[in-house]
Every structure is written in C-alpha cells, then in structure tokens.
Amino acid sequence: MGNILRCFKGEDSGGDHYPYYKPTSRPHYPPPPPAAPARHQQPLGPHGVTPSTVGVAALAHDLLNFESTSMVPDGLSQHVASSRKAQVKWYKNMLEAYKNTTPPPKTPVDASHLIARALHMIQRSDLEGILEFYNFPIPSLPTSSSNHQPSSLPEGVQFVLNTLPVYDKCIGDGDGFTAYVSTTDPRESANVPLEVHEMVIARTQARQCRDYQSADALLSSLDEAGYKIISCSDDEVLARKYRIRMRGIDAPELKMPYGKESRNALVKLIGGKSVKIYVYDLDQFGRYVGDIYCNNVFIQEQMLKNGHAWHFKTYDKRPEFARWEREAKSANRGLWASGNPEKPWDWRRDQRNARQEAIQVY
C-alpha cells in the first residue's frame, strides 16, 4: 500500500515497480499539425504568387523592365545561342504581344503560348531556351520548326556551301565527311584556277583520242588540285572538294566502341543526299567547320538527340547542344546505352601519348 501511495504522490522509492504511474511517464501527445491549405489551393510566395505562377510574374517584371530600360535579363544568354541584339528584338515582340493580350496570361501554359506566338520566326532551340529560362512548358509545335534551317545568314557564318549528293564512302566518321560543290555554283565558278580549266580540256581531248592513261593521270592531277569530275546522270560535273568538320559535336573515332554505329547514323542522315553547310571556320587540319542541314533537318541536332555524338563543349557553348546531349543521355540512347562511354578527345589523347612513348622507346 505504501508503494502505491508513493507512486500516486510521485515519490521515488529507488525502484521502478510502477513506472507508468509516474507523472513524468505520462503519454506525450504532440501538438496538432497546422491546418493544411484548402484543397487545390497553393501557398502564396513572398510576392503573392504561387510556385506555379512565379515564372509568369517574372516574365511580366522583365517586360516592364524592358519597356523602361530596353535591357533583357542577364541570365537569358545561358539558355539561348543568339546574340544580345537578337534578344532585344524578341523582347520587343513579346512586349507588344503582352500588351495586346486581354486578359494578360495568368498561367505558365498561357505565357508559353504567348511567347511561342510572338517568337514563331526564331529557331526552335532559342524558343525552347527562353521557355526553359522562365520554367514554362514547351507547347506543341510542328516538328519541322525544330529542324528548319535559318531563314537568314546566322551571325559568324563566312559562306554557305550547297553540295552535290554526298557519297557514303566519303563519310569518314560521325562528325566529318568530304563534300563536293559544283563549279556551276556562282560562288565557285569565279574561283576555278586557270590550270584546272586547262586540265579539264586536256582530259577531254585525251579521252577523244582514247588516250585513257593520260586522261587518268589528269584526273589524279585534278584531285591533287582539290577538284573532281563527278558523273551526274548522263553528264559530268567539275566539282570542288571540301573536307567538312561538323561544328559543335565530337563523335567516336571508327576504332572506338560505337564508332561504326555513329558513322552509319550519319550515312543514313546525309548519304546520297545534297546538304547545305553554313561554314564558320577553317580548323588546323584544313577542314571547313560548319552547321549541316539536309532537307531542312539540322544534322547535329539529330546526332546529339539520338546519342550518336558528344557535345564538344570545348569549342561550342550552344546551350541547346548541351540540352540535346542530356536528353539522349537520360534516355540511354545510342552510345549512352553503355553507361560510361569513353570520350573521343580522351581516346585521341591516349593514342598520342602511346605513340610518343613508342617513339621514345625506339
């Protein structure tokens, strides 16, 4: 009885016979949780906007700021490839569209469609970049708009090549090939050297005289001069040879894993077809570096999206290229199916080092 009384009074007898009677061992009930927001209602952010509409508010703020300062957001250039001058034009169009929209967009979907309508003439990659900048969904657009070649000459392009159909055997790997441009092309016709014209005439005369040995020798001389006589239907065309390096991507070398698959993918895209090449530069190996389009399809985009090449970040910073590579990698397409494929620039470095070591040993 004494023990029971001590337990009720909270006295400790030195033992623990009835711990559940101690005041300190009473069940602890946590405070009730805060009331949940009403169904379908999102908590308001610091500016009175919900998380899903913060991009809409940011767009309105940026357009208002642009109207007064003519300045575009600083971070936009990390998402698009076009120049700041082009971005200013975009915001002029978006501001005009925003003012003409009643009521103004209230959801990300509404804002996404407004931007798509205002900027329907820009490249798909830039449109996707600006939508990504505001975290807006990408609306359904015609597939061709993603791959449509530029309507005007892009900034930095030195000249454009319109080639004859590309031979399969002239495609070396997944990022390079040899192309031929007819000398009837206005750009080429004025630049054919006199000695090339003379060799063509001499070859024709040799063939008429059935001096095929001399004719073949003249063909070799033409090839050394960078020209080739190509049979097209029932005619022969004098064409200039161009070695092409695809800008912004790096494909596996033929001796690397997935090297042949990458080349075959490029063959399927351009083999036997004429291509348009926007030439930006000439590299250290004498190759013309450019963007390739075939039947309005941007070839680098297809190679990256399908996992046939890497984005060559060292030489090309276009954000859409990085995005297309991420898309292929996340889907385990092409070379990414192997998990951790060796990068071609690492492979080439190792090959160079091995050759140097072999020379030193020798």
In the chain the domains, ranked by start, together with CATH numbers, are: 51-141 (no CATH), 159-190+241-349 (2.40.50.90)
Predicted local distance difference test score (pLDDT) of residue 257: 93
Q: Whole-number mean pLDDT of the chain? A: 83
Answer yes or no: 287 catalytic: yes
Structural tokens at position 53: 């509409």
Q: At what angle do helices 124-133 and 108-118 cross, to 10 degrees?
A: 150
State the average pLDDT over residues 251-263.
95
- 290 burial class (0-12, 13-18, 19+ CB within 10 angstroms)? buried
- Whole-prediction pTM value? 0.61
Please compute the mean of the pLDDT values over residues 182-210 and round it to a whole number.
93
In whole angstroms, how far apart are CA 228 and each of 12, 231, 234, 245?
A: 107, 10, 16, 20
**Which residues have a Cβ under 8 Å from the Cβ of 345 and sit 6 or more positions away?**
250, 312, 314
Query: Choosing from 207, 287, 323, 333, which is the catalytic residue?
Result: 287
194-208 vs 212-224: helix crossing angle, rounded to 10: 160
The better pLDDT of the pair 116, 336 is held by 336
Cα atoms in the 13 Å half-sphere on the side-chain side of 126: 20
- Is the pLDDT reported for residue 316 higher than 60? yes
Among the listed residues 124, 245, 247, 263, the single catalytic one is 245
- Whether residue 345 has pLDDT greater than 80: yes
Look at residues 59, 119, 61 and name the one whose alpha carbon lies nearest to residue 87: 119
User: Regarding predicted confidence, which is higher, 43 or 232?
Assistant: 232
Closest C-alpha among 62, 58, 60 to residue 73: 62
CA 295 to chain centre: 18
| pLDDT interval class at 22 (50, 70, 90) | very low
Cβ atoms 251, 344 nearer than 8 A: yes
CB 198 within 8 A of CB 307: no
The two structure tokens encoding residue 105 = 């967009």
Please identify which of the residues 128, 203, 247, 253 carries the catalytic annotation.
253
Active site residue 84: no
Contacts for 81 with CB less than 8 Å, ≥ 6 apart: 123, 125, 126, 129, 318, 319, 320
**Tens-place pLDDT, residues 213-231:** 999 999 999 999 999 999 8
Query: What local confidence, expressed as pLDDT, does residue 15 receive?
Result: 42
Does 323 qualify as catalytic in the annotation? no
pLDDT band at 121; cut points 50, 70, 90: low
Nearest to 183 by CA among 244, 243, 241, 270: 241
pLDDT at 81 over 60: yes
